[in-house]
Amino acid sequence: MQWEIDRMTDATSGMLHPEIEQLDRDDILALQNRKLAALGERLAGAPEWVEHFRQAGLKPQDLADRQALDALPFLEKAHLRERYPFPMLGADPAKVEKFCATSGTTGLPVLFGYTADDMHVLLARQVARQLHCHGVRPGDRGYNGFGFGLWVGGLAYDLGMAELGMTNFPVGPGRSDLVAEWMRDMGFTLATVSPVFLATLIRTAREKGIDPKRDWKLRHAVIGGQSVSRAFRDELEAELPEGFMTFNTYGTTEAGGPIVATTCPHSHERDEMHLINEDTVLTEILDPETFKPVGPGEIGEIVVTTLDKQASPVVRWRTRDLVRVAEKPFDCPCGRKGMGAIGRIIGRSDDMLKVRGVIVYPSQIEDVVAATPGTVKEAWQIYVDQPGSAPKQLSVAIESETGYNGSPEALADSVGRSLTSRLGLKVPVECHAEGTLPRYEAKAQRVLVRN
């Protein structure tokens, strides 16, 4: 695949690729249809994909009709693990420049390949579009705090920063003492970082006598790896220089990287994200029980199809991530009227807890903790009495901020009452001194088993 890289910019709209980003919905759908047909032709040459389609009574070329998607089975991790080590590759292994992997928390990591075009053209362009949407420009300095090695996060932002003409400091997660000083000394204007680690950096800086609001130059932070409440986001922004904004981002290794959705300056206040790369990633939001598309304001599971990826494409990949479609998904003042908007990720269909008949998402608990004055926003933990999605008992641990004037018991009681009001479930809450609970540099593990 050969791309013609278009570096045109539109200073008023913040669009790096206005010829795509300004398309209306019908034009986006027409573009997707053409690319679905081309994808089917490519997959017809891959025996594993031919077999996958055959099980549904289809062949890859049937993707020329978009309705074939509805009849195609979802792609799940089990399908890929059955074909270890290079599942559903879609390209000659000799043409794969790099492999990235999922975390492998429940088994062997699943490998996903990238050809040279996948990395240096497709992924670079997808991430650069996102960064430009946030207001990042050539010459900005970026601290890249996402993970490297086999993980795609750090790689993706390295490529995107280079495509956009930025200066990149690829430090990765951790080394908070060093990064807190470099934020001041190097004049970083962008940070790509998990939200909980950004909170850790702010606290570390203050411990070292550095005032992030006065001494740092940050204007933007791309926060990913986990969803955060609006209250937590607002608290982060209040600690940083005037005008600083956090931008949520969402993606998965299977989708090609952290490239599926991101916030624009207009959707920031609505706590929503645009499906920013709908020309290269087709996104369905489906009811996780009926698998029918959900409408505005409704909750569904994100299912993705990669339209342009050469190595390791996916067709109808079930992310298991649940999201609410925006009430007005195609009505943003930024002008991206063909790229629908979604809210932040509210949980996973396979991480949902059902406690004594009540559905509980970790994000609901975070909302309550983050909105309660006196709590340490990034430090909270859920404890259950047994593994699985149906524990009999659930409790929550929080921390009180140093200098909080009230008692730990009163703070725990306040959070407990709010949780009961929010969930309709009585939840025991324990309160600890600041610094007691685990801190996470990357994705936080919020649910732990404790007998």
Is 382 or 361 the better-scoring residue by pLDDT?
A: 382
Residue 19 neighbours by CB under 8 Å, 6+ apart: 6, 8
Using pLDDT thresholds of 50, 70 and 90, give the confidence band for residue 103.
Answer: low
* C-alpha pair distances (Å), 245 with each of 203, 262, 272: 18, 13, 14
* C-alpha pair distances (Å), 275 with each of 62, 239, 251, 338: 25, 29, 10, 9
The first and second tokens of residue 301, run together, are: 């599971």
* C-alpha pair distances (Å), 322 with each of 59, 121, 249, 292: 30, 29, 14, 14
Using pLDDT thresholds of 50, 70 and 90, give the confidence band for residue 438.
Answer: confident
pLDDT of residue 5: 32
Ranking 74-88, 127-141, 193-207 by mean pLDDT, the lowest is: 74-88
pLDDT at residue 72 above 50?
Answer: yes
pLDDT of residue 261: 97
Question: How far apart are alpha carbons 280 and 125 in whole angstroms?
Answer: 10
pLDDT of residue 220: 96
* C-alpha pair distances (Å), 273 with each of 259, 377, 451: 11, 22, 39
Question: How far apart are alpha carbons 285 and 275 in whole angstroms?
Answer: 11
pLDDT of residue 7: 37
Region at 445 (left for phi over 0; alpha for psi -120 to 50; beta for the rest) = beta
Question: How far apart are alpha carbons 228 and 345 in whole angstroms?
Answer: 8
pLDDT at residue 21 above 90?
Answer: yes
pLDDT at residue 151 above 60?
Answer: yes
Ranking 70-79, 212-221, 313-322, 359-368 by mean pLDDT, the lowest is: 359-368
Question: How far apart are alpha carbons 57 and 51 in whole angstroms?
Answer: 10
Span 106-129, average pLDDT: 92
Span 11-39, average pLDDT: 91
Show the DSSP H helices in 100-210 as ranges.
Answer: 116-117, 124-134, 152-164, 176-182, 195-207
Query: What mean pLDDT is reported for the chain?
Result: 90
Using pLDDT thresholds of 50, 70 and 90, give the confidence band for residue 222.
Answer: very high
* C-alpha pair distances (Å), 346 with each of 76, 77, 260, 325: 21, 21, 16, 11
- pLDDT, tens digit, for every residue of 371-381? 899 999 888 99
**Contact (CB, 8 A) for 332 and 273:** no
User: Strand 111-115 and strand 141-144: pairing?
Assistant: unpaired
- pLDDT, tens digit, for every residue of 347-358? 777 667 888 888
pLDDT at residue 441 above 70?
Answer: no
pLDDT at residue 2 above 50?
Answer: no
- Claim: this prediction has a pTM higher than 0.85: no
Using pLDDT thresholds of 50, 70 and 90, give the confidence band for residue 439.
Answer: confident
Question: How far apart are alpha carbons 246 and 269 in whole angstroms?
Answer: 11
pLDDT of residue 343: 93
Using pLDDT thresholds of 50, 70 and 90, give the confidence band for residue 417.
Answer: very high
pLDDT at residue 105 above 60?
Answer: no
Q: Please choose, from the candidates 273, 303, 274, 272, the residue with its C-alpha nearest in 3D space to the C-alpha of residue 286.
A: 303
- pLDDT, tens digit, for every residue of 254-291? 999 999 999 999 999 999 999 999 999 999 999 988 99
pLDDT of residue 124: 98
Span 150-164, average pLDDT: 96
Is 37 or 288 the better-scoring residue by pLDDT?
A: 37
Using pLDDT thresholds of 50, 70 and 90, give the confidence band for residue 12.
Answer: very low
322 strand-pairing partners: 301, 347
Percent above pLDDT 70 for the chain:
94
Structural element, H or E, at residue 348: strand 341-348
Using pLDDT thresholds of 50, 70 and 90, give the confidence band for residue 442.
Answer: low
pLDDT of residue 306: 98
pLDDT of residue 360: 87
